Every structure is written in C-alpha cells, then in structure tokens.
Amino acid sequence: MSQKVAIGADHRGFPIKETLKTFLQSTGHNIKDVGTLSADSVDYPEFAEKVARSVSTRESSRGILICGSGIGMSITANKFPGVRAALCHDMHTAKMSRRHNDANVLVIGETIGAERAREMLKVWFETPFEGGRHQKRIDLIGEIEKKNFKETA
C-alpha cells in the first residue's frame, strides 16, 4: 500500500537517505524529502523537526530519519504530538517498534550501513501493529502526551 513518507537526514545520514529514498520510490511510496541535500555539515534538529511535524500533522503517514547515531533525531522527533519515533539498530527492533509500539517514525544511525538500513526499512513497512494489549499502552502514551501538553501550555 502506497503511503506518503517524509524522509530527512543530516550530513552523516545523507548517503543512506538517498538510498532509502530510491528504495521507497521503487516500491510506490510518495516521498517528501525534507533534506539535507548534500554531505555538507548541518544541524540535525532542523530535519528531525520537519519530518516529525509532517507526521504529527498527518501530512505524511510515516517518517524516516537518519543521522550519525540516531539519538538526537529520536529525541527531537518525539517532542511532537502523535509521533512515536523509534531508534532501531536491527531487524528485531524495527519489527518490534511496529508490532508493539506502532512506531510512525523510523530512526536509523548511519553506522549500520545502507544495505542493512534498507532491509530494516522493508521489515518496518511490512510489519503491522498488533493492537490488543499494545493499543492500551499506545493510548496511555497519548494520555501522558496530552497531560504534559496542558501542563506546559
């Protein structure tokens, strides 16, 4: 099923972003590339914000972020309502992020390499959310998010 996917990376993740973008396009997805557009040094929060905002506002159904370690991108993306960004390192974490957490943003560190990243992305897109007892947990996350938004507003 074709989806609109926002994808972004910093300079370290740029080469993998280009590989994943090509792969996603070849499988029929509509891609929103928010940058970066080269390997020149940039600040990762700018690109994490663009992808997370696109998912949070439902402009995109899913998002992909790539940087050096993936940690900063994850922290930034998870500041947005409705975003469940998961930093994944292998097929198991990619699968479980979807199956149990209904992750809508996949975050990858560039150290895993382009081929492994492509394989993880394929697993991530093919794995459905189980629902059931996991839906209750996703709902609890949403309640915490709403509560914290009200407290800080």
For residue 148, the model assigns a pLDDT of: 80
CA distance linking residue 48 with residue 92, whole number of Å: 23
Percent of the chain surpassing pLDDT 70: 96
Please indicate whether residue 32 or residue 148 has the higher confidence score (pLDDT): 32
Is the pLDDT at 104 greater than 60, yes or no?
yes
Enumerate the active-site residues. Answer: 67, 100
Average pLDDT score over the chain? 95
Q: If you classify domain 4-152 with CATH, what class do you get?
A: alpha beta
> Residue ranges of the domains in the chain?
4-152
Q: What is the mean pLDDT of residues 121-139?
A: 95
Question: Does residue 150 register a pLDDT over 90?
Answer: no
